[in-house]
Amino acid sequence: GESVGLHLPTLSVQEGDNSIINCAYSNSASDYFIWYKQESGKGPQFIIDIRSNMDKRQGQRVTVLLNKTVKHLSLQIAATQPGDSAVYFCAENRPGNTPLVFGKGTRLSVIA
């Protein structure tokens, strides 16, 4: 069935390096995407979103890239810090008033 998934379940990066977390989605009709960060024992926290009419959006230290041709979403974190260690989920929203569908998550570990 159609689903949102991730290429890598875990990612370890050196402090100060850039991180790239990837996500594949299979529903070409999805028109809104969000990246969430989940720290241990906490609820998902919004990081950044992007609509399907865009291919790039930048926030503070984070950039989301959307490639609709290959149905791929990525989250780039610049100058990764220990506080960035968490599980990152991509989520997609299908058209209409439908709930978010989450992917499986990638655990990011920052090595000091």
Partner 1 sequence: EPEVTQTPSHQVTQMGQEVILRCVPISNHLYFYWYRQILGQKVEFLVSFYNNEISEKSEIFDDQFSVERPDGSNFTLKIRSTKLEDSAMYFCASNQRGGGTGELFFGEGSRLTVL
- Binding map of partner 1 across residues 47-66, x = CB under 8 A, - = no contact: --x-----------------
Task: Confirm or reject binding of residue 46 to partner 1 (CB under 8 A).
Answer: yes
| Region from 15-23, 59-67, 77-85, 87-95 binding partner 1, contact rule CB under 8 A | 87-95
Binds partner 1 (CB under 8 A): choice among 13, 22, 27, 32 = 32
Task: Confirm or reject binding of residue 97 to partner 1 (CB under 8 A).
Answer: yes
Binds partner 1 (CB under 8 A): choice among 13, 31, 68, 76 = 31
Q: How far apart are alpha carbons 30 and 98 in whole angstroms?
A: 10
Q: How far apart are alpha carbons 76 and 84 in whole angstroms?
A: 12
Contact residues: partner 1, CB under 8 A? 31-32, 34, 36, 38, 41-46, 49, 89, 91, 93-105
